[in-house]
Every structure is written in C-alpha cells, then in structure tokens.
Structure 1
Amino acid sequence: MAKRTGEKYEAIIEAAIRVIAKYGYHNAQVSKIAREAKVADGTIYLYFENKDDVLISLFSEKMGSFITKVEEELKQIKSPSDQLYKLIQLHFQHLERDHELALVTQIELRQSNPEVRKGIGEILKRYLNVIDQIIERGIETGIFRSDLDVRITRKMIFGTLDETVTSWIMNNHKYSLLDQVDEIHRLFISGMGD
C-alpha cells in the first residue's frame, strides 16, 4: 500500500468528500471517486483497502487536523469558559466553511457500517478528550460546579454542537452557525456555572 501522503492521496480524499456529499455513501462507488479525483480506479487501491477505508481516512484526516488546530488554539487561552467558547466557535466555523464535509460527517457517516463507525470512533475519542479537559479544568478552577459529571456534561456539549450542525444542514444552511455561538455558550455556562 502506498504512503498516505502526496497529491494523489489528497486528491482522492477531496474527491471522496465531493462524491459522498453528492451521491450519498452507499451510491458513491470507488469508480466515481476515482473519476472525480482524476485517477485510475486501481490507483485508489494503492492507498486504500476499500471504500470504507476511504471514508475512515477522510474523517481521520479532516477531523485529525481540526482537532490539532483546536488543541493549539486552546493552549493560548487560560479560562475554561473562554476555551469552551473557542471550541464552539471553531467547531461551527470548520463545518460552515465546508458544506460538503459537513454533510459527509454529519449525515453520511451515520449511515455507514459498524466497521466505519469503529474506525471513526478512535479519532472522535481525541476530540471528546479535549472537551473533557475543558470541563475538568473548569471544575478544578471553580468556574464550573464541582458536582458536574464530566461524562454527562461532555455528552451534552458534544450532542448540542452535533445537533446544531445537523439541523443547520437539514435546513439547507439558511442561517449562520457562527451566529449560534454566543447563545449556546451562554446556555452551557449558565448550566455549568458555580
């Protein structure tokens, strides 16, 4: 298998996003992805085992680089409340900028098979850990209530962000996700504050 770097690899990942967003995961044949990436069908198999591997890889690449950006930006912010604000802002900004990626990650990934869900679960854990760290720091510094259950609080935060983006997609992007940041942050802080 070829190294997962380089122009062809990137072209296949980007093509997969466009094709899956347009046709849906189940109708996104490898041949369509290859045609969109302007490579031969066989070239895809130099980089990926199968279509599931393409989907897992695109999520891993896109989400992985996003998480790295979030981690770097949050290091610059001291207050857990401000970190949470920045996390919400970056989450919405990332998906609002790329409607096709938002459609693939919010809708198509959910319709995939257990193998794909298992593959994306690993990278998702890293993101959930970032949320956990904000909550834990907020509790330690007394900004958030000491009786918060970190696991439940994380589910509420991630679930709210996730549902907000899904609803935005289902409403054909009729409004700005970034316009929702202040209200969602206020809601979280009022529920978590001490």
Structure 2
Amino acid sequence: MAKKTGEKYEAIINAAVKVIARHGYHQAQVSKIAKEANVADGSIYLYFENKEDILISLFAEKMGKFVKMAEQKINEQTTVEEKLRTLVYMHFYQLAKDPDLAVVTQLELRQSDPLLRKKINEILKHYLQLIDKIIHLGIEEGTFSSDIDPLLARYMIFGTLDESVTNWLMKERKYDLLSNVEPILRLLLHGLKPA
C-alpha cells in the first residue's frame, strides 16, 4: 500500500504540480516528476500507484489544505458579506500565489478522463459545502433573498470564481487576480441592479 506522508511525498506532490503545469498531464511522465522531485523513479511507486494517483493525490492534498485554511478564515468573520468576501479572496489568493497549481486545477484536470473527473469531484465536494454554508446562512439572516435556489446560487458563486481564474490564466496572468475580489463580491451580492 502506498504511503501518503513525509518529505518525499510532499516533494513528489510539489514536483508533479510543476511538471504537469509545464508539460501538461499527458506529457508529464513519472520520470520527469521524479527528476523534478530529486527522487529515483522507483521511489514514486512507494507513494503512488500511478500517474493518475499522483494527480488525484495532489488535488486532494492542495484542496484539503486550502479548504481547511479558507474555512478557518471564514469562521473568523461575523457577517455573511465578510464570509463571502473571504471566500472570494481566499480562492483567488491561493491560485494567484501558485500559478502552476492554477494551471493544473483550471486546465489540466478538465482534460482528464471521466473516471478521474468523478474522483476529483468527490474531493471538490468539501469546498462546495463551504459555499453552501455561506448561502444558507445568508438566507437565514436575510442577507440573501429567501426565494433563491441555493444550488443555483452555489453554481453561480463557484462558476464565477472558477471562470475568473481561468480567464486570468488565458490572459497570461497580465493583471492582478486579487483586483477582482471587490467587483466580483459586489456582483454576487447585488447582481446587475444599479447601485
């Protein structure tokens, strides 16, 4: 059974992010990942079953840390508006500080096979539940309309953040992603109504 801890494990995960971002998932051979991680090719198989396992593990590892950190920061906020602002900020901050991870999550994960996408979606559920909590709290407190569809609201919030990061990547990161936090927050809170 592959072990999922330790310095070498972390080194392989971080190397995989760089190699996949640089070469694409399909061209990211295990040997390239091993070289980037400064480990022997065979060492990778002590930690991972195959390249697909590396991709799933890196997403689980990075997403898990992000959700934990985001949840902690969101829980420190008192109003729904502050919680939503923190969610938007944390989403952008996490990917802006690690553009290679942004490339992997926004572009490479979407080119994978359906079975792999299903596993990725399982990992993503924890993040979506975090969004759901904010939506339900907003409805309870009256910050959001009581007649909104929470699932549709989740799609809109996640979809807006997701597309914003993808656009930032496609425009070759020529602007500060964090400059979008306040405009997107206003759009999510007030829609398209005049201010």
Residue correspondence of structure 1 range 87-98 to structure 2 within 5 A: 87-98=87-98
**1:128 positional shift:** 0.4
Inter-partner Cα distance in structure 2 for 1:161 and 1:27? 28
**1:114 positional shift:** 1.7
For the 8 Å contact 1:53–1:116, the answer to whether it is kept is no
**1:41 positional shift:** 1.1
**What amino acid maps onto 1:51 in structure 2?**
K
What per-residue deviation string (whole Å, max 9, x for no partner) do you get for residues 20-77 of structure 1?
0110000001111111111111111111111000000000000100000011111111
Inter-partner Cα distance in structure 2 for 1:129 and 1:121? 12
Query: How large is the RMSD of aligned CA atoms in angstroms?
Result: 1.3
**What amino acid maps onto 1:143 in structure 2?**
T
Structure 2, unpaired ranges of 5+:
none
Structure 1, unpaired ranges of 5+:
none
Partner of 2:58: 58
For the 8 Å contact 1:145–1:192, the answer to whether it is kept is no
User: 4+ runs of 1 displaced by more than 3 Å?
Assistant: none
**What amino acid maps onto 1:116 in structure 2?**
L
Inter-partner Cα distance in structure 2 for 1:113 and 1:52? 10
For the 8 Å contact 2:3–2:48, the answer to whether it is kept is no
For the 8 Å contact 1:96–1:102, the answer to whether it is kept is yes
Change (3 A) 1:87 1:81: same
For the 8 Å contact 2:77–2:83, the answer to whether it is kept is yes
**What amino acid maps onto 1:177 in structure 2?**
L
Change (3 A) 1:192 1:149: farther
Partner of 1:159: 159
Inter-partner Cα distance in structure 1 for 2:112 and 2:143? 39
Partner of 1:187: 187
DSSP 3-state at the match of 1:78? coil
Inter-partner Cα distance in structure 2 for 1:192 and 1:168? 22
Task: Count how many residue pairs are aligned between Structure 1 and Structure 2.
Answer: 193
Partner of 1:170: 170
**1:191 positional shift:** 2.8
What per-residue deviation string (whole Å, max 9, x for no partner) do you get for residues 84-139 of structure 1?
01100010000000110000100000001122212211110000000010000000
Tell me the TM-score normalized by structure 2.
0.96
For the 8 Å contact 1:15–1:33, the answer to whether it is kept is yes
Deviates more, 1:32-41 or 1:153-162: 32-41
**1:192 positional shift:** 9.9
Change (3 A) 1:53 1:192: farther
For the 8 Å contact 1:103–1:169, the answer to whether it is kept is yes
**What amino acid maps onto 1:126 in structure 2?**
H
**1:2 positional shift:** 3.9
**What amino acid maps onto 2:53 in structure 1?**
D
Inter-partner Cα distance in structure 2 for 1:12 and 1:124? 22
For the 8 Å contact 1:106–1:165, the answer to whether it is kept is yes
**1:3 positional shift:** 2.2
Inter-partner Cα distance in structure 1 for 2:7 and 2:182? 39
**What amino acid maps onto 2:15 in structure 1?**
A
